[in-house]
């Protein structure tokens, strides 16, 4: 039997379930990109906020294109299980904060209506790095942004709100981008400047774009995971998510209107997210991407295997502690030594089964904020980053297709462009084509002569 409102009473008594009247909750949040990460993170915090007494923050999830999540969750009345996995065992709970899931490409009007509904006050986003439709220099890529993008839906929903004299919205990015709120604000403004400058002025006056740092490791759910959950709950759950016990959410306290009391259930509301964001992106995500490209080359499938490999671990420790950490001005009370230590323990969690190939995806969208900003900050201080350079070379080999035999074709929105560049430039020219004065990533970091030498050595070629 499938998990749903009707089957909830069949759950074993020790499985926690929503302690609020789900049917009576207005939908205060629209969420774009309702994948496993959102369900293990913001939806979990919101469920707990409602359990603690907050009301009317049910989430309307939106998938821009794929109908998969809608098919998984709507027949379950939006219910799904979250399982925390650790060496000590698994703990499963049922989450009730998601009301329904819309597929924007199939029912655009329903998405616009949800954005324009008076009870909607917050829009959250986990659309991944590429969902922001940025060109390599960070500006809005107009062609991508025209076609069913999040901006097109926001434009229509926000116009309807303005015309109906409704309050503006808080647009809260929860993606792994530096300054994510500010980037969303700038990109939305660029989009509206082309399409409707008047609406752009209304958005600037009535909407808020807080930055936020989100952290929870969420491997893609597998068929085996669903079986584990079914064995624990007695019910089939197609929306199941598996995650680690750890979670962190640091949010800039800058909202256009009301919000759930997320701070009552563990989120941190702060004046400046930047130090948390930099630590997360440069230390956690930076190490993750290095583990992915180096680990795949060493024949590993999972993060916990790669971090235990003596050929890889010292590089990861160096990347975090010696190369990334000194570039971060810690907030009061933020202990970066302890953070690095905790990250190594989280990566080593054997119960998590976090696939390196999942992290390796979309590298072109990830490396600027994970590695290149760290390289630039160190360069300004005259420091070298051998660990990041060797990871960068591993990424270059990855996008050349070196891991494709074992792990399938390169999954990256720039895959074709990068493959073309490799063909045109070869190992001698590729570092300059990417990180030279006019290189693809020059806006974030330009390599020095020494860096080119070291990349060439890693790629097996003299400069």
> 287 to each of 42, 43, 182, how far by Cα in Å?
23, 26, 25
Among the listed residues 348, 450, 439, 448, the one whose alpha carbon sits nearest the alpha carbon of residue 396: 439
Beta pairing partners, 433: none
Q: Does 268 bind ligand CS2 (CB under 6 A)?
A: no
The radius of gyration of the chain from alpha carbons, rounded to an integer in Å, stands at 22
Site string for ligand CS2, 214-233 (x = CB under 6 A): -xxx----------------
Cβ closer to ligand CS2: 72 or 358?
358
Length of the chain: 463
Q: Does 34 bind ligand CS2 (CB under 6 A)?
A: no
Beta pairing partners, 236: 2
Select the span of 148-156, 161-169, 210-218, 434-442 touching ligand CS2 (CB under 6 A): 210-218
Q: Does 367 bind ligand CS2 (CB under 6 A)?
A: no
Q: Does 365 bind ligand CS2 (CB under 6 A)?
A: no
Among the listed residues 396, 385, 406, the one whose alpha carbon sits nearest the alpha carbon of residue 451: 385
> How many Cα atoms are found within 13 Å in the side-chain-facing hemisphere of 342?
16
Q: Does 176 bind ligand CS2 (CB under 6 A)?
A: yes
Q: Does 353 bind ligand CS2 (CB under 6 A)?
A: no
From the CB of 292, what's the least distance to ligand CS2, in Å?
8
Select the span of 2-10, 211-219, 325-333, 408-416 touching ligand CS2 (CB under 6 A): 211-219
> 168 to each of 13, 200, 216, 257, how far by Cα in Å?
42, 12, 29, 8
From the CB of 58, what's the least distance to ligand CS2, in Å?
24
Q: Does 373 bind ligand CS2 (CB under 6 A)?
A: no
Cβ closer to ligand CS2: 362 or 453?
362
From the CB of 211, what's the least distance to ligand CS2, in Å?
15
Report the alpha-carbon distance of residue 411 to residue 191 in Å, rounded: 27
Question: In this chain, which residue has its C-beta nearest to ligand CS2?
Answer: 288
Kindly state the DSSP code that residue 83 receives in the 8-state scheme: E
Report the alpha-carbon distance of residue 389 to residue 384 in Å, rounded: 9
Report the alpha-carbon distance of residue 271 to residue 253 in Å, rounded: 6
Cβ closer to ligand CS2: 191 or 371?
371
Site string for ligand CS2, 299-338 (x = CB under 6 A): ----------------------------------------
Which tokens in the block code for residue 231?
Answer: 């064995």
Cβ closer to ligand CS2: 103 or 312?
312
Contacting ligand CS2 (CB under 6 A), which of 74, 183, 212, 285?
285
Cβ closer to ligand CS2: 215 or 412?
215
Q: How many CB atoms lie under 10 A from the CB of residue 293?
A: 27
Among the listed residues 456, 285, 452, 450, the one whose alpha carbon sits nearest the alpha carbon of residue 383: 450
- Residues of this chain that bind ligand CS2 (CB under 6 A): 176, 215-217, 285, 288, 358-359, 366
């Amino acid at each position: 039997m499938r998990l749903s409102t009707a089957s909830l009473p069949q759950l074993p008594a020790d499985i926690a379930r929503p302690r609020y009247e789900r049917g009576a909750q207005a939908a205060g949040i629209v969420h774009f990109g309702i994948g496993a990460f959102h369900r293990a993170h913001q939806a979990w915090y919101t469920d707990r906020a409602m359990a603690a007494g907050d009301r009317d923050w049910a989430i309307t999830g939106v998938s821009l294109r794929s109908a998969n999540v809608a098919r998984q969750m709507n027949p379950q009345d939006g219910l799904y299980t979250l399982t925390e996995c650790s060496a000590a065992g698994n703990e499963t709970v049922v989450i009730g904060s998601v009301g329904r899931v819309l597929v924007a490409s199939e029912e655009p009007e329903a998405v616009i209506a949800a954005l324009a509904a008076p009870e909607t006050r917050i829009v959250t986003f986990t659309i991944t790095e590429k969902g922001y439709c940025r060109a390599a220099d960070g500006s809005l890529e107009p062609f991508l942004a025209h076609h069913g993008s999040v901006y097109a839906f926001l434009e229509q929903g926000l116009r309807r709100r303005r015309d109906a004299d409704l309050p503006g919205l808080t647009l809260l990015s929860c993606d792994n981008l530096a300054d994510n709120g500010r980037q969303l604000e700038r990109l939305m403004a660029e989009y509206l400047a082309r399409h409707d400058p008047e609406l752009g002025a209304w958005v600037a006056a009535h909407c808020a774009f807080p930055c936020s740092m989100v952290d929870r490791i969420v491997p893609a759910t597998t068929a085996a995971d669903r079986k584990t959950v079914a064995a624990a709950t007695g019910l089939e759950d197609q929306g199941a998510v598996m995650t680690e016990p750890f979670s962190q959410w640091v949010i800039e306290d800058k909202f256009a209107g009301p919000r759930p009391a997320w701070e009552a259930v563990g989120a941190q509301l702060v004046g400046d997210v930047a130090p948390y964001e930099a630590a997360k992106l440069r230390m956690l995500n930076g190490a993750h991407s290095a583990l992915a490209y180096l680990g795949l080359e060493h024949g590993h499938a999972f993060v916990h295997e790669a971090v235990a490999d003596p050929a890889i671990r010292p590089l990861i420790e160096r990347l975090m502690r010696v190369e990334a950490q000194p570039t971060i001005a810690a907030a009061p009370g933020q202990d970066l030594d302890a953070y690095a230590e905790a990250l190594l323990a989280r990566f080593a969690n054997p119960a998590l089964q976090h696939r390196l190939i999942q992290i390796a995806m979309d590298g072109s969208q990830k490396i600027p904020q994970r590695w290149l900003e760290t390289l630039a900050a160190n360069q300004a201080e005259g420091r070298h980053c051998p660990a990041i350079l060797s990871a960068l070379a591993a990424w270059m080999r990855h996008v050349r297709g070196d891991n494709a035999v074992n792990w399938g074709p390169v999954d990256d929105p720039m895959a074709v462009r990068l493959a073309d560049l490799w063909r045109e430039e070869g190992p001698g020219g590729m570092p300059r084509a990417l990180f030279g004065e006019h290189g693809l990533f020059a806006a974030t970091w330009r390599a020095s002569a020494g860096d080119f030498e070291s990349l060439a050595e890693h790629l097996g070629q003299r400069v």
